[in-house]
Amino acid sequence: MTSLMPELEKSLPLILRQIKNKFVKEKETAEKILQNYKWITLNNEVECACAAVDSSFLAIESRVGYIYALQGLAVLYNIKNNVIRRENVSVFTDIGFIDISIAKESHIVKKSIYKKVLTEYAYTLELENLIKVIKDYNHNLALIDGSFISFAMSKKTKNVDAYIESVRRRCHLDEVENLKIRYLEQLSKLRHVVFLAKSSSAGFYTQGQYSDMYILELARLFKINPYINPGFLEPLIFNVKETLSKIIKGSNIPIDKFTVTYVRFGLGTPVYQISFPYIVGEDDIGYVYMCLKKWSTSGYPIPLEYVHRFSKLPRKNLINAMIHLGIPIVTGRELIEFG
């Protein structure tokens, strides 16, 4: 039986003092950065139709290769007279192998490459099914879990050939990537397509000196007005290719600009990054905010919470099912969980 050593237990309260000292030193920095941007406070709410999509996936190392499993959900809801109704739904699942080969003998296949391939495939399926649920229905918002930049980034890896060998079909990573870009382009032409990220290390407002979310969290902790109130930060507009070029090389995404801001849906609640795959002004963001606020009674949009909960892939059940089928799982290091 293991337990904390008495010496470590005695040190635990000291970390609180260290955190407090660290934050106090940076409070002035947070105030200085935030005073450059206005915080738009809105208390109104708007009833609207809201679509959302999310997925989860696992990669399992077996003696016959890397097996992946994926499941996700896209749903369109409507609020009318305070009554929520489901308008449309699309469930998507897949299972198969991730096949990766290297072009040079001197290279080795890192496990992180499997994550890159599977993440890219999941993103593509999410965008495809979001388009499916809103295609023939009226919607005011279409929510995607994550940031626009994370979806727009290419996951191609040099000197590696990667394939998704689904039980339904086999496709190269390039094909997956091209489909994802096409879906992003389609969504960029629709109104109020919103990428919402719960966490982000981006420093759009701090010129990369700090994470934007870190600065806004300091504002919440130190009750810096007006940034703790329900509302959103003055939006910024960036060039897509210029931004991506700082992260990856050779992006060919046909979207010119994207817009970023941060929102709170309640007093002192967590802040979220929202980004749009096009230029959007304060008035449109205000409308999006009021729609999202109606859906965010607990501080987080209910449609996104719903699709996240129902798409969550139970690890233990999947492993047990594979063992029951006699699939030779590699024991001791059998599971890598992504997403």
Q: Taken in order 125, 131, 134, 139, is the CA torsion positive or negative?
A: positive
pLDDT score of 84: 92
Cβ 49 vs Cβ 139: under 8 Å: yes
pLDDT score of 257: 96
| Close Cβ partners of 301 (under 8 Å, ≥ 6 residues apart) | 50, 52, 143, 196, 265, 292, 295
Say how far apart CA 79 and CA 15 lie, in whole Å: 45
Cβ 325 vs Cβ 317: under 8 Å: no
For the stretch 25-50, pLDDT in tens is: 888 888 999 999 999 998 899 999 99
**What torsion do the CA atoms of 22, 24, 27, 28 make, to the nearest 10 degrees?**
-110
Position 119 pLDDT exceeds 80: yes
Position 184 pLDDT exceeds 70: yes
Say how far apart CA 77 and CA 288 lie, in whole Å: 15
- Selection from 108, 74, 142 nearest residue 311 by Cα: 74
Domains in the chain, please, with CATH?
40-338 (3.30.2170)
pTM: predicted TM-score of the whole model, two decimal places: 0.88
pLDDT score of 103: 63
Position 338 pLDDT exceeds 70: no
pLDDT score of 244: 87
Count CB-CB contacts under 10 A for residue 186: 16
Say how far apart CA 40 and CA 282 lie, in whole Å: 9
Lowest mean pLDDT across 75-84, 137-146, 307-316: 307-316
Lowest mean pLDDT across 21-25, 98-102, 200-204, 326-330: 326-330
pLDDT (mean) for 311-320: 79
Helix, strand, coil in percent for the chain, rounding step 5: 35, 30, 35
pLDDT (mean) for 93-102: 89
Q: Check residue 331 and report its DSSP letter.
A: S
Say how far apart CA 328 and CA 331 lie, in whole Å: 9
Calculate what percentage of the chain has a pLDDT beyond 90. 59
Confidence of residue 158 (pLDDT cuts 50, 70, 90): low
Residues forming beta bridges with residue 68, ordered by sequence position? 59, 96
pLDDT score of 157: 63
pLDDT score of 331: 52
| Beta strand residue intervals within the chain, DSSP E | 39-41, 49-62, 65-80, 83-102, 141-145, 160-166, 170-172, 193-197, 231-233, 236-239, 257-264, 272-276, 335-338
- Selection from 74, 28, 30, 86 nearest residue 228 by Cα: 30
More confident residue, 59 or 145: 145
How many distinct helices (H) and strands (E) make up the chain?
9, 13
Count CB-CB contacts under 10 A for residue 292: 27
pLDDT score of 108: 64
Position 62 pLDDT exceeds 60: yes
pLDDT score of 268: 83
More confident residue, 116 or 122: 122
pLDDT (mean) for 147-155: 88
For the stretch 274-291, pLDDT in tens is: 999 999 999 999 999 999
Lowest mean pLDDT across 122-131, 164-173, 239-248: 239-248
Position 160 pLDDT exceeds 80: no
Position 332 pLDDT exceeds 90: no
Position 51 pLDDT exceeds 80: yes
